[in-house]
Amino acid sequence: MLARVSSTPTFKRLPRAVREQQMLDAAVKVFSRRGFHAASMDEIADDAGISKPMVYAYLGTKEELFVACLHREGTRMMEAIAGAAAPDLPADERLWRGLRAFFGFVGAHRDGWAVLYRQARGEQPFAAELATMRGRLVEVVAGMLDHALRAKGREVGATDLEVVAYALVGATESLADWLADHPEADAEKTATRMMNVAWLGADQLLRGITWHPPAD
């Protein structure tokens, strides 16, 4: 009823693929700002300049929508990292490039990634999804360490390796949180600090030994 006074159609009809991206953009924005539960499908639809049933038609339920966000952002991040850390470099070089790519990504997608990430940790249905992604990262780091160790004819238990990798990934995520909360902070500098902690350790740092990025 009261069929809109079609003076201007206000907005054009757009192909599905485009609308889906708009919706995902809006969803990421709203989910980050409000959190999964507090975010309402109405607000997301509104923010995307579209009505709610369209969101359901294209991306499914709220949970599915959130998973779609996670996937898109996660894939983007993984690509950013994978593209930076070639597997045939020495370990320190690889670690450095990976870290730089990671913090660069987070710095550029502050509210996008870091907050989605924080969200997903808590909510049961997504924790598994997230764990898979983190698992891939841990695997990469553990693989790197293993590779470096084998090159020296040394070997370490798989669990040890995994736990060390887990700690490194955790520290990195933690600094990513810090970066997301400090808009004035510099991504490159944060990566350098992370590299110092991860590569040298507290003992060396207390001795005044520091690591600096290569001239590149």
Interface with a copy of itself by CB under 8 A: which residues? 34-38, 91-92, 95, 118-124, 127, 145, 148-149, 152, 154, 160, 163-164, 166-175, 177-178, 190, 193-194, 196-206, 208
Q: Do residues 126 and 153 make contact, with C-beta atoms less than 8 angstroms apart?
A: no
Q: Which does 40 bind (CB under 5 to 8 A by kind): a copy of itself, DNA, none?
A: DNA
Question: Does 14 contact DNA by CB under 7 A?
Answer: yes
Residue located via tokens 């009261």: 2
Q: Site map for DNA, 27-66, x if CB under 7 A?
A: -----------xxxxx-------xxxxx-xx---xxx---
Instruction: Give the position of tokens 């509104």.
Output: 46
Least Å distance, CB 179 to a copy of itself, is: 9
Q: Torsion-angle region of residue 122: left (phi > 0), alpha (psi -120 to 50) or beta? A: alpha
**Between residues 57 and 167, which has the closer beta carbon with respect to a copy of itself?**
167
88 phi/psi in degrees, rounded to 5: -100, 10
177 binds, options DNA, a copy of itself, none, Cβ within 5 to 8 A by partner type: a copy of itself
Question: How far, CA to CA in Å, does 114 sit from each of 111, 125, 189?
Answer: 6, 18, 18
Min CB(66)–DNA separation in Å: 10
Tokens of 174: 């933690």
Give the span between the Cα atoms of 42 and 192, in whole angstroms: 42
Least distance from a copy of itself to the Cβ atom of residue 105, Å: 17
Do you know the residue count of the chain?
A: 216
* Residues near DNA, by CB under 7 A: 1-4, 6, 9, 11-16, 19, 38-42, 50-54, 56-57, 61-63
